[in-house]
Each structure stands twice: as structure tokens, then as C-alpha cells.
Amino acid sequence: AVTKRRTRQLAEGLERSLLEETEDPAVAAEAADTASDEILQAHFAACEFGRVAGEAPRLATALLDRIVRDGATEPSPSGLQHPAHLAATATLLSGPGGDHRRDLAQAVAAWFREPAQAAGFGDRLALAARASPGAGTAIATAWIVAGLADLDLRTFLPREAGETIERLLEPPADTTLLWRLAQVAGAPGHVLRARAEVLPLLDPAVVRALVEGQLAVNNGRGLPGKAADLLIDLRERRGSTMSSDLLRIENELKGAEVTASPEEIPGALLATLLPGRLPEFHAPLRLLLDRREPIPGLSAAIAQLAEEVPWWPRGLAATAFEDLPPGPTRAAALIDTADRSGRLPLLARSLTGHSDGRHEARQIAILIDAVAERYRVHMLVA
């Protein structure tokens, strides 16, 4: 019952309520024997990154144990919201509490140095390759966690395991998790393939690349349906775009296969695609914007977003945030649109000098930049 309630609280954006409950002795006693995954997710949302980072070694090895012992393929919560991934992400933020990233790397390396465990992981990897065309989320999450600690799991596994992961990466990534996996698990500089919907499609650089043919779409067959006309029309609009217009374009592109070859596209364009959307930072930014009063500087931050994204939707114009608190619905729409436009880092940075939560905004901005750097290093410095 406790776990179900906490899961519902997270789904409804009630992280603060969840954390307040944990301070109640009666609730703490009731939940003493339950998993703390939901609490860790709430701490991450509340920007308590040092506290979360300290759990990274335990959570990473627990995930690896589950993969080998239980054959876990779909961890819950899955993907980029998995506590092991959130904790590994938090280790990228340096703090006075010690080098959590080093501790994570040492814990994962020690786990793989046990021959039976390394062999078991290799077996699960081979089983995943036989069972489906792509990697399961548990293996993908574990590989990404290791990558955030600057570890390449190939070095701990037999050569055939490296060939197996290459086969698992052949299908185009159809989730943000698998897009991240393609960036860290493949050979440096390899060709990346993804379904259009996992990319920041509204980023001006991506729109330009799609219109001008810098990115191969559907193996050279080009943009599907009316997508080309819609994108050309979008580039000509300024200040007259509705959110529904943007959604129509994304729906038209959904399912299209986009290929990004580091040898064939400019490095600046590739960097725009890496690491891609950042859903793990939606909750921290949403809590940052969850205020009862208007947020100083928020309208200025949005004006900067609109300056960089000519088709920024008028329903999210800066003037709409001047005199009223954003509210949960508009805050979520603002964060999601900024992410789809490749401007979530800019939103976080813009809030650091203005908002009441400038310390939290600064931490989020630094952490986002650190995450982007980890993925870009692997793909661009090859």
C-alpha cells in the first residue's frame, strides 16, 4: 500500500508531499520494510543531488544483481527514471561529500571482477539478443550507469559480448533510453540511428538539417508525408505558432528513421543531437517552478527561449508568466516544450540569476551540462 501510494504521488508530481510524509514517524515505521526507490526519485526531484549520489554504488550493483539473478529485463521504475540511473547522474555533480563517481566506478568494476557475475551478465546479454531485436531496459540502464562512471563494460566481458551489444544497437533507437545507450555502448564515432520522436525535433538546428537534407531520413527516402512542407512553413513563421502546430509536425515525423553519421555531418549538428531529450530533469525543474507567487525572472528566461526558437508557441509567451505563478500544467508544458526544442539547458541557466530557487537552478544547469559532456565526449572525441 505504501509503495503504491508513493508511486501515485510521483506520477502526480507530489514529490514534496512524499518527502514530508517520510518525516512522520508513523509513516516511516509503516514503510520501514518497503523499497526506497520512490523516496530517492523524490530526493532527486528536490535537487538533493549529494544525498542521491551517495546511493549510486549500492543501486548500481543491486540492478546488476537483479539482471543476473532474476533475469530482470524491465526494471520498475524503468529507463532514465530508474533510481540507479538518477543516482549515477547525480554523481556528475561535484560536492564536498566525496567523489561519488569514483565510488560508483569502483563498485561496478569490483562487481564485474567476480567471474561468475561477469559470466552471468554476458549470458543475459546473449539471451536478450536472441529474444528481441533491441536491448532490454534493464541491460540498457546498467550499461548507461557504467558509462556515466566512465566505464566501458566491454572491458569486463568476453569479446563476443562486444559483438552482441553491437547487434542489439542495430535497430533504430525508439526510446530516449536506447538513444542514450547507442551513444555510450557503441564504438566511438559509430553511426547513430533513431526514431525521430526521441530527438529534439523542434531545435532550430535539427529543423534546418531535416529540411536541407543534412540528416538522412528513412535510409535516404526523405521526409514522410507532409513533413517537408510543414517544416518549411515552420521556418517561415515567427510568433504565430500554436502548440497544436508543433504537435502536428511531430506526429507527421513519428516513426521516421533518422541517421546521424559523425563522418558525414558537422560536429556542431551532432552535438545538438547529443544526448537528446532530458526527461530526468523535468521533475527537478517542475518543482523549482512550483511556487505560489510569480517567479522573478521567469518571463525574461522565456523571452530568451523565444529569441532562440522562432516558432516558440504563443501560448507559452513570456507575457503569460509575468504576473501569475506558472501553475503545474503550464510549468509542465514549458519544460516539455523547452526540451523538445533542445533548450532545457538554456532554461535552467536562465533561471540561475533570477528565480527564488537560483541555487537549485544552478545545480540543475551544472548537472545538465555535465551529462551532455559525458555523451559528447564519447561520440565526438573518437
Mean pLDDT of 76-104: 86
pTM: 0.89
> In the 3-class helix/strand/coil scheme, how is 29-50 assigned residue by residue?
HHCCCCCCHHHHHHHHHCCCHH
Contact 180, 144 (CB under 8 A): yes
Q: How far apart are CA 340 and CA 277, in angstroms?
A: 7
Question: Which is higher by pLDDT, 26 or 375?
Answer: 375
85-89, 278-282, 299-303: the lowest-pLDDT one? 299-303
Q: How far apart are CA 27 and CA 35, in angstroms?
A: 14
* Cα-trace Rg, the chain: 21
pLDDT of residue 9: 52
Predicted confidence band at 358 (pLDDT cuts at 50, 70, 90)?
confident
Give, for 259, the enclosing helix (H) or strand (E).
strand 257-260
Q: Which three cell numbers stand for residue 305?
A: 527561449
Q: Which of 99, 94, 81, 6 is nearest to 44 (CA)?
A: 81
Provide φ and ψ at 99, rounded to 5°: -90, 85
Sheet architecture: strand order including 192-195: 192-195, 257-260, 216-217
69-83, 102-116, 228-242, 349-363: the lowest-pLDDT one? 69-83
Contact 100, 52 (CB under 8 A): no
- For 21-49, letters b (16+ CB in 10 Å) and e give bbeeeeeeeebeeeebbbbbbbbbbbbbb
pLDDT(321) > 70: yes
Q: How far apart are CA 269 and CA 193, in angstroms?
A: 15
